[in-house]
Structures are given as structure tokens and as C-alpha cells.
Chains A and B, each alone.
Chain A
Amino acid sequence: MKKAILILCVLLLVVPAALFAAGGKEAVASGGDSKMGGVLVFGRSGDSVSLDPGRETDGESFYASTAVFDTLVEFVPGETAVQPALAKSWDVSANGLEYVFHLREGVKFHDGTPFNAEAVVFSFERQFKQDHPYYNLGPWKYWGYMDMDNIVKEVVAVDDLTVKFILKKVEAPFIANLAMDFASIVSPTAVAKLGEEFKNNPVGTGAFKFVSWTKDSDIVFDRNADYWGGPVYLDRLILKVIPDATSRWLALQKGEVDLIDFPSSEDIPAMRATKGIQLIQQAGLNVGYLALNTQKKPFDNKLVRQAMNYAIDQKEIVEGAYGEAGQVAKNPLPPNMWSYNDDIKDYGYDPAKAKELLAKAGYASGFKMELWAMPVARPYNPDARKVAEIMQAQLAKVGIQAEIVSYEWGTYLDKTDQGEHQAAMLGWTGDNGDPDNFLWVLLSEPAAIPPAGNIAFWKNREFTDLLAKAKATADQAQRDTLYRQAQVIFHEEAPWVPIAHSVVTVPAKDTVKDFVLYPTGKRVFKHVWLEK
């Protein structure tokens, strides 16, 4: 017992001392008006799975790898279009099957290895050549997700600074795939030296050099003073894991972090009102929708599908279920994607018109239907159950009795991709910023074969032909026109009721400058600077 009292006394002494010690402020480096310098701490919700972008599929992993690695081409900040990066320029052969990339000279990996054609070939071949010595460090999941096995035949080093991709088929979105994180160029010497440990000690050409990683806590990067795309302003970049949204907000208020990811939408009004805090916002590259199964009655009738669009008020849904985190959708593409057709006028909320169309279709007294809702929160639909309830009430006003149905998530996906539903909610998050990555996978005829991505099972020849033509055209202006036309057909035929796109918000201190959100979900810090 005496011991216990002794320990207590020690604790009582230590605690206040610690309290006082904590009050001390850190010295802030005195600086002029230069953009150079400073440490930026980004409070994010989860840790990276690993730091080798070829292996991973989750955004948190890419946040870290984007800092370390570059790709041949990259997304224009804040857009879905691509621009040169490690490749200065590229040529596409007339038949669209050969892409020749001219690489930037004098670039070095963080370990001093020169960046060249061989490194590019290495970075890709490790993901698909099964006899490659480092193929077994996979699985190379995104290579599979993007169906690259069926696109890329070979990657060849023509000379030290020229790389040729030979494709198996004409696939215009291919260039956008190369801007994705899985297509990052890694240091071949580092992979050879570190083997399996490369995924914990990444070496690339990027704006920041990897320093250390404490699992579930933080990853530290230092400025790459030799960055080809420089200057990089931050001395250090720290990605800190703060899993709870409220804790992240508290840490930002206290000033321990400079900007935070995924605030809870209830906190956003308070953040807006807080002095010294700015909100950086961007629509997410996703869409949540209600797919109407066109192979089943009554949704085989276009008039009924249009009536559904008139009967459902997306504005009420976004206000009720998404809050600050959503915006109303009218097209299958998110508004920040190139070729988004803003000329299309949304159906709007018009129950009278809906009734009229129903009557015309022979359902004057309405009908009964099943309305399927996902059991889980998704980025494009935070609460499908709630959305379904709002829809149910809206549909009742035009005489449609909707019964809400839900299954366990795995079962839900199985049943919907087999077409067991009448009308089901689902959504999609884009990968490469290419419209094909939405329209083809979600609405084309080939995607309507079970297990289907096109769960409206909408088979429209004209629409699919436009998409196929766009896939085979390398010229972006031409593709843009084709996709705009396709959206007009979609609107008229109404296989879905588009619901909403999520809105991504990053609250930051006012001192954080030039931070741009990317529609593809990247978090890029190479041009960010701190006001001192």
C-alpha cells in the first residue's frame, strides 16, 4: 500500500508538470514572404495499406504514393484531362495501336538511379509478365481492374528515352489509365534491392522523398530538392492518421494539423463560420442512381421511366440524406468530368407531368413496385435506406406504391448484377477520369450481360455504338462530341433516375495555399505552400 501511495505521489507530480510543458508553443521558423519552407500536416481518416501503388486499390494508399511517385502522364490539377509528366510528349500511330512516349531527360529517382525507358518497362512489366522476376510481389490489382491484360500487349524500350506501348485493341481511355497511381514509375534498383520491403520503403521520382512510416499513425516525407516539376515548397509533408471525424476537426481547431480529410457533414456549417478556416470543395468523381430494370414490367416502358424521373425530387433527397456532402445529378457523368453535357435540362420535380405520363402508359391508377436499397453507406450514397424512404413518399404522391427491399451487401450485389430487381439503387466511383469508365461499364450493351455492370439492363444500339466509336477514337475533341450525344440518348430513354454526386470537402487553415482537389480523389501537395 505504501508503494501505491508513493506511485500516486509521483504521478501527481508528473501530471501537472506535463500539463505545463504541453502549454509551450513550438518555435515557428521566421521567414520572409517566400513560399519556401514549412511543415504541412494532413489529418486523414485511415492509414495506407502499403506504399507500392501497383499493389493497392484504396485512396489512402495512393495519398502517400502520389507524393513519392510520378506517372508518364498526369491529371491537370482539378480536372480529369491529362497532361505530360515524366513523358514530355507522345504520339499515337494512325491505327491507334501504338503509343510512343518521349521521356523527360535528366530525371533521377530518389536513390540516384537515372530515370529512363528501362525503368518504365520495368514498372509495367512487373505487373503483367508472369516470368518477370518481381511479378510475385503483387497481386497487381488495379492492372486487373482496368482490364489492362486485354489492352496492353507489350511495353518496349525503343531507346534510352523512348518507350513504345503496343496495344491489343484500340482503346482511347488507355492514356487516362496511365495517369492513375497504379501506373507509377518505380526505381528498378530499389525494387531489386528491397524486394518485398519495397512496399514499405518506396523510391520514385516524385516531389517528396519517403522518410518514415509508423503504422496507423503517420508517414513522413521530405522535399525532393531535385524535383523535375519543381520547386517543391514544403520542407516536410506528414500524413497523420486521425480516424474519428470529430477528432480530426478538433485537431484542426487546435492547429495540430493544417488540413483534414472527410469532415462529418454536420460539422461543415460550423467550420464555415470558424475564423482562420477555409473550405476547399470539389464534386466527387461518382454518381449514385436508381436503375430501372428495362427488362421488367413496368419499366420496359420508356414513358414509365420518364414518369419516375418526374416523380422523384432529387433536391429533397440530397437535403435529407446527403446534407452538405452531395449535389443533385442529372447525367450519368459527374459534372467535373470532361464531356459532361450541361445543355441537358434535368427532368425536374413535376408530379402532375409524372401522372400524365403514367396515364399515357396505361398506369393511370399507378402500380406496385419493389424499391431496392443498399444496406451500406457508399461514397455516392451515404444512406440508401433513407433515400429510399424519401423516394417512397414521393412516389406515393403519383400513385406508385413502393416497397423497400434490402439484402446483405454481398447478396445485394449478386442479385442486382443478375437482374433480379425491378428497380435498384447503386452507384459508381470513377477511376481514370475518362467518361468511358462510367458510360461503358454502367450503360453499354456488353455490360448488360450478367454479372452486369449495367443493372438497368438497358440495351440501346445507338448509345452503345456511340461509345464504341469514342473508344476507338484517339482525338479527344471528337470523343467529347460523341459522349455528349450519348448523354442526350440516355436522358431521353431514362434507364436510371440519377440521384446525386458526392461533394468532397477539405477544411484547411487559411495559411494553406494552392491546394487543389482532384476529381479522381488524389491529394497532391507538390505545389502547396504555407503562408508564414
Chain B
Amino acid sequence: MIKHILKRLALLIPTLFGVITLVFLMIALAPGDPARVMLGERANAEQIAQLRAELGLDKPLIQQYGLYLSRVVRLDLGKSIATGQQIAREIADRFPATIELAWYAMIFATIVGMLLGVTSAIRRNTWVDYTTMGGALVGVSMPVFWLGLVLIMVFSVWLNLLPTGGRMNIRYYFTPITNFYVIDGILLWIKEGTPKYLWSAIQHLILPTIALGTIPLAIIARTTRSSMLEVLQQDYIKTARSAGIREKRVIYRYALKNALLPVITVIGLQFGLLLSGAILTETVFSWPGIGRWIYISIGARDYPAVQGGIIFISTFFVLINLAVDILYSVVNPKIRLQ
């Protein structure tokens, strides 16, 4: 088991090295002179030269790469050109927002997705199955941007039930503690005795959670269904049934546990994708997260910020996959023994 984990950890190094190199090349080989593009119409030759020197663009590519690598290895992501702030700090300011949203979206997608998947599998080829799977197909193909706007239109503007965006009622003048607003809401409830912050945080989470969670939900539902169907046809299930074990017990105790394996992989992958895929949801719902920050940095040609952001997200993605792998071997002894 430990050997297995160590092996996975060792594999991380070349993966991350590859990511770092790719990110560097992506920027270095992008068309046009970054300094020129950043300065726009009003640049003079002197300013361009100065910025090139600042960015180290006047050095040969290989030397730039060396310098870059040595900084990243020391965990120094550098400073953002736009703000002059440490990139690590920029990320730390925004990551909790993204994680919070992705986390609830994932819980939503997992619970509802698995329930729908199991139900469809049990009621295979009935109208329940057709409706669920039809819905799932619509779900995966729905553009997040559009879905988000429709949700706002219906639930915020027409029905006046939920806020249109943001993380907290801005008229509460609330100062974050942990920057995870649901947790902050609970803490403030204890401290100040009012649940209003918690309610506001939850209200603000509902629509973005649905918008962000819909695609993974649909994917999880479909995976659960097909995996369940496969397991349900196996001999030991037939045996269990013929032994007279209650159907519910057969399904939830014996079938689901084994059907879960591929589902865990999908959940892990989807969670990683959510972090980077949150850009659109964050934009529609004015959610001050990291996806949108990277997107804005791309627009502002803030290359160190883009590089730092992508490296951070990729590392996180790789780590989640590692966690899934480990979880997998816990659930499935076969892998542990290999």
C-alpha cells in the first residue's frame, strides 16, 4: 500500500515538470511580442525595451527557461505585472472562493447524480430511466453560461427568490475570516448570534452550484447507471437474489459498492475539471474566484500571473488524481495487492 502511494508520488515529479515546461513554452512561443501587446497603442520604443528587460524577454530563451525553472522549484511564482503583488498571494486571496463553489457543486452533483443513476439502473427501460437519461443528455450539452443566465433570470429577476451574483449580501459589510463563506457564516453565527451571514452565503451558493454542478451531475448519473447495470448482471447478484436477500439490500449493500469504482474516478476527474472549468460560472455569477482571475490575467497579458495560475491549478489537479488513486486502492483491494 505504502509502496503504491510512493510510486504514485514519484510519478508526480515528471508530470509537474512537464506542466511547468509546457506553460513556459506556451507563453514564450505565443505570437507577437508580449511587451508590445501589453503596452498597446501608446507605447514608445523605450517603454517596450524597459518592459522586455523587466520580463526578462531580452535574454535568450534557454536562459529564460533556466531562470524560470529555478524560481518555480523554490516555490517562487514571481510577481504579477498588473498589480505588483506576489502571485502566491493573489492565488491565496481567490482560491477559497473557487474551492467553496467547486466543493458544493461536487456534493450536489455526486449525491443527485448517483441517486438518479441508481434509480435509472433499477428501473431500466421504464419512463423513469428514459426521462433521467434524457435529462442527463440535456445536462451535459447545456452551455454553462446560458444555464447560469437562465437561472438568474428565473430565480432572481422573475421569482425574486435568490440573489443574482456575488458571495454575500454586500450591504452586510462583512469581513471574511477564513474566506470560506459558509464556514465564516457559522463562525459569525456563534460569535454574533445572527445566522444572517450563513443564510446569505447559502443563498448566494445555490444558483452557481446548480450551474456548475449540472454537467458533472449528468456525467456521474450516466456512469453510475451503466456501472450499476453491469454489476447487476453478475452472478453474485443473482446468487444474492436467489438466496432471498431483500432487493434493497442487494442493490445498496452488494451492487452499489462495486459499481462505485468507476464512479469515484469520474468524480475525481470532474472535481479537477470544475476548478479550471469554473471560469464561466464565476463570470456569470460574479464569483471572485481563481478561474476568472486567470481569465482576466490572460486578457491583461499578465504572463507571470497566467503561468503561476496554471501551474497552481495543474498541481492541484494532479494531487486530486493522486487522492483518487489512493482512495481507489482503499475501496478496491485488487489494486492494493498488485
A212 contacts across to B, CB distance below 8 A: 173, 175
26 A-B residue pairs with Cβ-Cβ distance under 8 Å, sorted by A, are A1-B256, A8-B115, A11-B108, A18-B202, A19-B162, A19-B203, A22-B199, A47-B296, A211-B173, A212-B175, A214-B288, A215-B90, A215-B93, A216-B94, A216-B289, A217-B286, A217-B288, A218-B170, A220-B173, A242-B166, A253-B157, A254-B164, A409-B32, A414-B33, A426-B41, A451-B43
Q: Which residue numbers of B lie inside 8 Å of A, CB to CB? A: 31-34, 36-37, 40-45, 47, 82-84, 90, 93-94, 107-108, 111, 114-115, 149, 152-153, 156-157, 160-167, 170-171, 173, 175-176, 199, 202-203, 206, 252, 256, 283-286, 288-289, 292-293, 296
- Tell me how many residues of A have a C-beta within 8 Å of chain B: 56
List CB contacts (< 8 Å) of A376-423 with chain B.
408-411, 413-414
Nearest to B179 among chain A residues (CB) is: A214
B163 contacts across to A, CB distance below 8 A: 22, 254, 256
Residues A217 and B83 in contact, CB atoms below 8 Å apart: no
Complex Cα spacing A411 to B36, Å = 8
Residues A410 and B36 in contact, CB atoms below 8 Å apart: yes
Residues B199 and A408 in contact, CB atoms below 8 Å apart: no
List CB contacts (< 8 Å) of A118-144 with chain B.
144
Residues B284 and A244 in contact, CB atoms below 8 Å apart: yes
Complex Cα spacing A429 to B284, Å = 29
Residues 251-262 of chain A: 1 if any B CB is under 8 Å from the residue's CB, otherwise 0?
101101000000
A177 to chain B, nearest CB (A): 14
Nearest to A25 among chain B residues (CB) is: B160
CB-contact partner of A217 in B37, B152, B166, B206, under 8 A: B166
B203 contacts across to A, CB distance below 8 A: 18-19, 21-22
Residues B160 and A23 in contact, CB atoms below 8 Å apart: yes
A231 interfacial contact with B, CB 8 Å: no
A46 interfacial contact with B, CB 8 Å: yes
CB-contact partner of B40 in A11, A23, A413, under 8 A: A413
Number of A-B contacts (CB under 8 A): 139
Residues B286 and A18 in contact, CB atoms below 8 Å apart: no
B115 contacts across to A, CB distance below 8 A: 8
Nearest to A220 among chain B residues (CB) is: B173
6 smallest CB-CB distances across A and B, nearest first, come from A410-B32, A216-B288, A410-B37, A410-B36, A217-B288, A251-B164
A201 to chain B, nearest CB (A): 13
A436 to chain B, nearest CB (A): 14
A243 interfacial contact with B, CB 8 Å: yes
Chain B: interface secondary structure?
Answer: helix
Residues B84 and A55 in contact, CB atoms below 8 Å apart: yes
CB-contact partner of B31 in A215, A408, A413, A429, under 8 A: A408
A273 interfacial contact with B, CB 8 Å: no
Complex Cα spacing A21 to B185, Å = 15
A240 interfacial contact with B, CB 8 Å: yes
List CB contacts (< 8 Å) of A1-24 with chain B.
1, 4, 7-8, 11, 14-15, 17-19, 21-23
Complex Cα spacing A256 to B283, Å = 17
Residues B256 and A247 in contact, CB atoms below 8 Å apart: no
A241 interfacial contact with B, CB 8 Å: yes
Residues B32 and A242 in contact, CB atoms below 8 Å apart: no
Please judge, given known A-B contacts A216-B293, A451-B45, whether A8 and B288 are in contact too, CB under 8 Å.
Answer: no
B182 to chain A, nearest CB (A): 10
